[in-house]
Structure 1
Amino acid sequence: MENLIRFKQSDLTKITSYRNGEVKFGEKIQIIPKDEDPFEFLKRSEAKYVLLGIPEDVGVRANLGRAGAKSAWENTLQSIANIQHNKFCKGHQLIILGKVDVSQELSEAEDLDQNNEEDRKQLFKIVENIDKEVSHIIYHIIKAGKTPIIIGGGHNNAYGNIKGTALGLGKSINAVNFDAHSDFRILEGRHSGNGFSYAYEEGFLKNYFIFGLHESYTSKSVLDIIKDRTEKVKYNTYDEIKIRQTKLFQTEMKTALDHVKGDPFGIEIDLDAIPNIPSSAMTLSGFSVEEVRQFIYFFGKHKHAAYLHICEGAPSLGEDKNPQLIGKLIGYLVTDFMKANSSNLK
């Protein structure tokens, strides 16, 4: 796997806080030995989940957003390493593969001005390169029979997740997206606002459900695009569920599942759907942490849940006093998925 910076045992030891009488995830998580081929190790391992980081925010910048999403990966690792290994969730079910090597792309993007038209075109091209790297690695994880858990990074990486999974399975897949935005914008060049529309147009994405759109931040043009694809692309709005209360959260989850459950589907979680979470498009109004956890558990327990992607968290944009909170939140979401998916109740 080129363009992959593998996570080492020494990295895990550094971030695990050992305590007498306790067993932490960091003491049980699997790390690929340095002398072994990653793909061969994945195929042989009995662990079901593979944790992959994409520490970039080029896609966010290409979408005229605030940089910072690249900081979530390191923050998350520290939290996951110190989760308790117990009867509820087992650390040995998880392999930390490492992170996509985006150092060159970040370097190329560093001095580009996203508000300059020509520079923004260059950002689009850099995102395309990241797409290739992400889809290649996800393809190998899927071919090894494992379930990827991806920590972003911007939501542009939904494209690579979907493409890699579809290629690994040999057919198009579905996706459900817990998000304030559709990310189904026009095909103007790759960025964090059109990962799903590109995947759909290229045939990797079949059925798509957007859960919790914010009506005030969804353009008429996007609604028109969705309307033209109404059989394949469906949505509900946050305003319907939480403000006007004309739809129920639990009922809407069932509706969304009905739309995607016929084929393998990705679970996409954009942290900007939760109030006060530091992100490119931070909000004060949105679903609660408990609701996103329920959402992940509900969809994760289905047998066709193919991957989990958590993106747009930006610890570097938050308060200095509690920089660990984003990682701790993502740790909850990761283990909620593992607990649900291990049972495959449906």
Structure 2
Amino acid sequence: MIEDKLELVLVTYNRALYLENTLKQFLDSPFRDCKFTVIDNCSPDNTRDVCAKYSKLFPNMSIIRNNLNIGGNANITQGLRTSSLEYTWLLADDDSYDFSDCNDVIEAVDSSTYDFVHVSSPLLPSNKKEGQNKDLTEIIEEFNPKREIHAVDLVNIIEGKYFMDLAFISSYIFRTELLESDDIIRAYDNIPNFFPQMSLISKSVNKNFFIYRAKHDLIIQGDNPENDAEHTYTFTKFYEGWLHSGLMINDKNIRKIFYTHLDNHSLPTNNYLVVLPVAIMTDKALDKKDVKINVISLLAALYKHTGWIKGFLLSIYLLLIYIVPSSVYKLLYKKFY
């Protein structure tokens, strides 16, 4: 039974209304009897009251409240290492769920066959985005009608979208034993780069995990305007952290796919030669702080990915973008955005 196999671990901070909505959805889901652990990162709002309320409604819920706010990425890392059952589903607190057709996911977990059970694709969702021809399920079914695929094959098919999809922490259920002590150490080490989960994502290609793709997305990624308003990551800082995170990938060819295919939802291309300059332009147009420092760190990450010669040429290219006065980018930003 699914409750003997799967533990849900939800990380939360200061989003009581969103958290309550998430817990309501799971209370009416086939997963309600699973072991359910909520990790509250010392929220100052009424998150504690929401947790207390729902701990009485779920049959197998426990609450962990940090005595200090340890930061969002550290809390994600804590969530990664919390589960004690065969499979773990790490959840966010502000998403919408569709459990109307999830028997295949339950069967996949119950079979103990797969390393990842992929349940949501922000970039290639089953509720197709404008301009999207195929969703991820259709793409994988063309490869294998059973929707079974190994990680390296999936990277070769959808390229950088593989990593961007999995960066959404709730997008997959993983076999708990695959996350070993060294992986957790790397996750903690990567917290300054924003993506502790990249420790497991990189391992998925390093060890070529066996993946099952759900028929339909179980999650519609949350649209939280309050969270967006409080977001402190600049575009250059985001990509700098992303590129540093990708250095955990062992295979040079896969690492090249990783760094050359970078998604930006406002651009029609994911080519890094376009995405990275636009990131610099946007941060300068919006007078974001520490752009110079972030660009330098971004260049260092590119050197590590590409080597000295190509890294040198990329540095010249991006530095030329950087030295253009902010006033020029402000005009461009106003015109196009």
Answer yes or no: same fold by TM over 0.5.
Answer: no
> Taking CA–CA contacts closer than 8 Å with sequence separation of 6 or more, which of the two structures ends up with the larger relative contact order?
1
TM (norm. structure 2) is 0.28
Q: Name whichever structure is richer in helix by fraction.
A: 2
TM (norm. structure 1) is 0.27
Q: Name whichever structure is richer in strand by fraction.
A: 1
Larger radius of gyration: 2
